[in-house]
Chains A and B, each alone.
Chain A
């Protein structure tokens, strides 16, 4: 697990994903594939055969059928980065999870703009990633005194895992980290950054570790930050005493330990996280990414399953932490009578803001 392999691809030396094939050889459960909600296997031996093909860099149907939901990263009991490796293999083989022009266009759309200017920031620094339109979420006592940074020049770039583009992650993430440091944190002598999204936290912890990218600041998960603030603001909390259904996003699979922090948050604000069939380890994709893969009928099915599951719980709110999940499901959720809301906004409600 600790060794970092170097493979020689032509003239470019690309550090490979941190991964130990021996662990898979000795693995008896192949949870990474057996627990997959989307690709089906005849049995453990079938899964094992496919997994060894992936590991060896051979053709495997999994490379084509994968929904890119990140869940196998969480399922693997050895933290052996099965998903990152799978994406690596997809790219090596030129497998396109979505049509080429769609990937190319997104690559340009989300590319760095070079429009960043140095700015003095104060702690807590909240990174809104490429979603400046959500900067309004950072308000009230909860985020008192916070500096918000955002824009394409600090985009976490984790989305390329959905599009077989580990190379883009390797190329862009170090630049983004450099931007964050040199334009904001270094001069302000700050070494912590609150990640508003699971995506960013996953990038600067799990992805950075697996890809061998060094992160000079300490990423703080939003849940960690909120939970701490709630302790400080405990006298202001008016328990909301409401049932909430949580839509766990794919990127939380990269930091499963934070899901327990969310439980703490809900407990502190008096929200009851209703047991859902599709929550926690069994969380189901919101349906956004399959549409890029041109699998709209599957996406419709995922939306339908998520919604009917939520409705059966009697929850009043559908809580999101991922803005993309909220954009994908929010309208549908609202049409079915649940109120879509971001975790931070729900907490603000409990704080009377």
Chain B
């Protein structure tokens, strides 16, 4: 499927500046012919109509574009889509699955009023999901006590949560409530 705008030819042959790429986004495969310059963020927003990931800086300096690629949180503004051929992408729209039920992190953000303008929120939520998985997998952070045994899950104190989510700026200043929300869903 090529979901480029109708103004562009529907099936443009790959040339030296475009290639065919297949991504699985929120469980569904998409095959597109992409301009090599197209980053994942713009592909999601412009080609797939998934505008949940936000463009706050376009340079990896704010975290609003955070999505999960093969389960890991990354800045989608810095990833060329062509380089992600075959990857599994999860965006904020795909966290909860198909039902009405929210993902626990989404639910906690609502319960804690962990946002105001909402623009950083999808990135914060995806980042929190990724950070929880990282801590469970034993990834340390800058504030983890060096004496913590390697390879074991890291307990998430408030300080750990704050440090691990520091790649997601929030200008409205919802940080304390975001930390509350993440604390709520620590397994």
A-B interaction: no
Chain A positions within 8 Å of B, measured between CB atoms, are: none
Chain B positions within 8 Å of A, measured between CB atoms, are: none
